[in-house]
Homo-oligomer: A and B are copies of this chain.
Amino acid sequence: MNLTVAEENYIKAIYKLQDGAVVNTNAIAYELDTKPASVTDMAKKLKEKKLIDYEKYQGISLTAEGRKMALQIVRRHRLWECFLVDKLSFSWDEVHELAEELEHVRSEKLISRLSEYLGNPTTDPHGDPIPDAQGKISKTRQLVPLDKATAKRLEVAGVSDQSSALLEFLHAKGIRLGTQIDVIERYEFDNSVEIKIRNQPAFTISEQVSKSIMVKSI
Contacts and interface: CB of A to CB of B under 8 A. Distances in A.
A107 to B, nearest CB: 6
Contact of A90 (B98, B105, B113): B113
Interface residues on A, range: 10 to 19
A114 B98 contact: no
Nearest to A5: B5
Given A84-B110, A90-B109, A90-B113, 11 more contacts: A87-B117, A88-B110, A88-B114, A88-B117, A94-B109, A98-B107, A98-B110, A101-B104, A101-B105, A102-B102, A102-B105
Interface string A87-107: 111100010001001101101
Contact of A113 (B89, B109, B113): B89
Interface string A114-127: 10010000000000
A114 B90 CA distance: 11
Contacts of A98: 105, 107, 110
Contacts of A90: 109, 113
Nearest to A95: B110
A152 to B, nearest CB: 20
A216 B128 CA distance: 48
A90 B104 CA distance: 19
A89 B113 CA distance: 8
Interface string A62-103: 000000000000000000000010011110001000100110
